[in-house]
Structure 1
Amino acid sequence: MARDVQITFDCADPAGLSAFWAEVLGYRLQDPPKGFESWERALEAMGVPPESRNDASAVVDPDGSGPRLFFQKVPEGKQAKNRVHLDVRAAPGLEGEARMAALEKEAERLVSLGATRLGRQEPAPPLGAGHVVLADPEGNEFCLD
């Protein structure tokens, strides 16, 4: 039996990081509970104090097929290299220089949104198609491939 998966990020700024990843993946902020036009109104009605309203955030695939990404505030910062990371498929169907050019174009866009470029792995046929390594605004590594 296949199971749904949620990917959880520990972070300092859930709202900021969820907005970044929504842009990366073409996701959207999860809708507030029924009966509320905004998360701010929902959290206020739930009695969540203003200083705790950025303790969590979530983004979802608008088509409903991709996993939900959940961002939770933690007191400590990132300490080491990720043991698990996301590979963002940014050049489907492309090969060679056209593929790497598409990855570079997407890397430039994401850097303008707050990502940090960490490196580039050149294509190494027959198995390696090449990729670009980035970090999100809180230092979590991910690859464009």
Structure 2
Amino acid sequence: MATRWSLTSDCANPASLAAFWAPAPGCAEKPAPPGFGSREERFAHHEVPEDEWDDGAYLSDPEGNEFCLV
């Protein structure tokens, strides 16, 4: 039986860390949440201040395991 897991990493520059890990086998930027064309669209919908939009990065592998870099 496989175990599904997620990993969260606290870092100073999430976008740079995501760019570093993205080439890992099969990893890609996690798609926008359902109902939104982009994460930015979701942030605007929920009135998240624009200066907080780059406070995290999200990757996932083909099996749906999520890597959250904040």
TM-score class, shorter: 0.7 to 0.9
Identity of aligned residues (%): 33
Q: Which residue of 1 aligns with 2:67?
A: 69
Question: Please, what TM-score do these two structures have when normalized by structure 2?
Answer: 0.79
User: After TM superposition, what 4+ stretches of structure 1 lie above 4 angstroms from structure 2?
Assistant: none
Question: Please, what TM-score do these two structures have when normalized by structure 1?
Answer: 0.43
Which ranges in structure 1 are unaligned for 5 or more consecutive residues? 73-145
Give the letter aligned to residue 26 of structure 2: G
Paired residue secondary structure (1:34): coil
Q: Which residue of 1 aligns with 2:44?
A: 44
Alignment of 1:75-86 (within 5 A): none
The structure whose residues are more often strand, as a share, is: 1
Q: Report the Cα offset of residue 52 of structure 1.
A: 0.7
Q: Report the Cα offset of residue 2 of structure 1.
A: 5.3
Which structure has more RCO (C-alpha within 8 Å, separation ≥ 6)? Answer: 2
Aligned-pair Cα RMSD in Å: 1.9
